[in-house]
């Protein structure tokens, strides 16, 4: 009886063993397919990384014009769009394969490598975007600060004209307000340009020129903001006081120069006297 039962079960056991072998082969094949697909994702990501590491070196002769900045902006936008497309496709695929990935150490390692590289590319593009914004700001500051000469000349002339009469006080205040707004923008752009120059050593020489021009604007700005109505007599007094101050300074300078000459002459005379005395000691004695 037992023999009959054993003989009956033998075909079933053999069939189960035969079906288990193909199942394992199918699983290994699935792992290999996933591995190959992930390698393609990794290769695409490596290409994006290589493209994101383009140089952004700026020198004195390189113009920061709209065409150059637009070219950099277009390149960054293209790379950002490519990275976003990659992220969507990669996230969709990796989530769909979670069951297989969780049971395979090799696939787990590959997922970790791809995610790490994905973060590196993201960080690299973030840095490039910050550099682009710095260059754009420097270019804007350069154009703005160097382009205010004509405007400031007119503001100064208007402020001088309106300060001649108390009836024109309201117009003078309008000029002051307009100038204050312009100079506030110049200050903001100048500070941002200094940060950009620190990030790009090639901008150092241009930054020095911009700083000189900014100081000139600051001087004119101070004069405009200090303008108030003064009667004609008071203006004459201020002018004379200014002349007197200059005269006093010149007198002090002349006295100081004469004193230096006297000190130098006394030193020369003492030196000659000392040399004369030393010469007398050299005579032979009897």
3-state secondary structure string across 183-211: HHHHHHHHHHHHHHHHHCHHHHHHHHHHH
User: Is residue 278 in some structural domain?
Assistant: no
- CA torsion through residues 144, 145, 149, 154, sign: positive
- pLDDT over 70 at 64, yes or no: yes
Query: Domain containing 236: what range?
Result: 231-261
Question: 123-127, 151-155, 258-262: which range is least confident on average?
Answer: 258-262
- pLDDT over 60 at 229, yes or no: yes
User: Is residue 270 in some structural domain?
Assistant: no
Whether 116 and 74 share a structural domain: yes
Confidence (pTM): 0.65
Whether 194 and 246 share a structural domain: no
- pLDDT over 70 at 108, yes or no: yes
Whether 96 and 184 share a structural domain: no
User: Is residue 269 in some structural domain?
Assistant: no
Using pLDDT thresholds of 50, 70 and 90, give the confidence band for residue 234: low
- Higher-confidence position of 23 and 37: 37
CA distance 172 to 163: 7
CA distance 227 to 243: 19
The answer for residues whose C-beta is within 8 angstroms of residue 134's C-beta and 6 or more apart is 192, 195, 196, 199, 200
Whether 132 and 34 share a structural domain: yes
The answer for residues whose C-beta is within 8 angstroms of residue 226's C-beta and 6 or more apart is none
User: Is residue 7 in some structural domain?
Assistant: no
Whether 41 and 134 share a structural domain: yes
- pLDDT over 70 at 123, yes or no: yes
User: Is residue 41 in some structural domain?
Assistant: yes
Q: How many domains does the chain have?
A: 3
User: Is residue 128 in some structural domain?
Assistant: yes
Query: In the numeric block, which tokens belong to residue 18?
Result: 């035969």
- pLDDT over 50 at 3, yes or no: no
Whether 173 and 193 share a structural domain: yes
- pLDDT over 60 at 282, yes or no: no
C-beta separation of 36 from 112 below 8 A: no
H-state helical runs in the chain: 2-52, 66-96, 98-102, 105-146, 149-162, 169-199, 204-226, 232-281
- Higher-confidence position of 14 and 207: 207
- Higher-confidence position of 230 and 171: 171
pLDDT, position 62:
66
Q: What is the gyration radius of the CA atoms in the chain, in angstroms?
A: 41
User: Is residue 89 in some structural domain?
Assistant: yes
- pLDDT over 90 at 111, yes or no: yes
Using pLDDT thresholds of 50, 70 and 90, give the confidence band for residue 258: confident
pLDDT, position 10:
45
Angle between helices 2-52 and 105-146 (to 10 degrees): 20
Phi first, then psi: give them for residue 17, nearest 5 degrees.
Answer: -65, -40
- pLDDT over 70 at 79, yes or no: yes
Asked which of 112, 143, 174 is the last residue of a domain, the reply is 143
- Higher-confidence position of 284 and 177: 177
Using pLDDT thresholds of 50, 70 and 90, give the confidence band for residue 275: low
Whether 151 and 139 share a structural domain: no
Asked which of 229, 245, 274 is the last residue of a domain, the reply is 229
Q: What is the mean pLDDT of residues 170-187?
A: 96
Whether 225 and 238 share a structural domain: no
Whether 131 and 178 share a structural domain: no
Whether 44 and 135 share a structural domain: yes
pLDDT, position 283:
46
Whether 98 and 112 share a structural domain: yes
Using pLDDT thresholds of 50, 70 and 90, give the confidence band for residue 68: confident
Whether 151 and 210 share a structural domain: yes
Query: In the numeric block, which tokens belong to residue 230?
Result: 């003064």
User: Is residue 275 in some structural domain?
Assistant: no
pLDDT, position 4:
46
The position carrying tokens 């205010």 is: 148
- Higher-confidence position of 53 and 253: 53
Q: How many Cβ atoms from other residues are within 10 Å of residue 200's Cβ?
A: 19
Asked which of 99, 125, 143 is the last residue of a domain, the reply is 143
Question: 141-155, 204-218, 254-268: which range is least confident on average?
Answer: 254-268
The position carrying tokens 């490519």 is: 82
């Amino acid at each position: 009886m037992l023999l009959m039962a054993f003989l009956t079960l033998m075909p079933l056991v053999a069939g189960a063993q035969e079906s288990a072998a193909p199942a394992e082969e199918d699983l290994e094949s699935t792992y290999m397919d996933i591995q190959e697909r992930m390698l393609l994702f990794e290769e695409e990501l490596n290409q994006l990384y290589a493209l994101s590491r383009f140089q952004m070196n700026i020198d004195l002769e390189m113009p920061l014009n709209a065409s150059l900045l637009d070219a950099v902006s277009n390149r960054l936008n293209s790379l950002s769009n490519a990275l976003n497309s990659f992220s969507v496709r990669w996230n969709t695929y990796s989530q769909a394969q979670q069951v297989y990935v969780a049971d395979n150490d090799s696939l787990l390692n590959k997922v970790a490598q791809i995610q790490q590289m994905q973060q590196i590319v993201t960080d690299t593009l973030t840095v490039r975007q910050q550099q682009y914004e710095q260059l754009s700001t420097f270019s804007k500051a350069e154009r703005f600060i160097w382009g205010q000469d004509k405007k400031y000349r007119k503001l100064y002339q208007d402020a001088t004209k309106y300060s001649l009469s108390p009836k024109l006080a309201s117009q003078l205040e309008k000029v002051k307000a307009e100038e204050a707004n312009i100079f506030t923008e110049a200050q903001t752009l100048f500070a941002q340009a200094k940060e950009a120059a620190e990030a790009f050593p090639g901008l150092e020489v241009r930054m020095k020129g911009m700083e000189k021009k900014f100081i000139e604007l600051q001087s004119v700005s101070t004069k405009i903001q200090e303008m108030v109505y003064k009667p004609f007599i008071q203006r004459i007094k201020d002018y004379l006081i200014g002349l007197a101050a200059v005269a006093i300074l010149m007198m002090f300078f002349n006295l100081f120069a004469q004193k230096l000459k006297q000190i130098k002459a006394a030193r020369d005379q003492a030196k000659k006297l000392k040399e004369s005395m030393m010469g007398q000691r050299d005579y032979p004695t009897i």
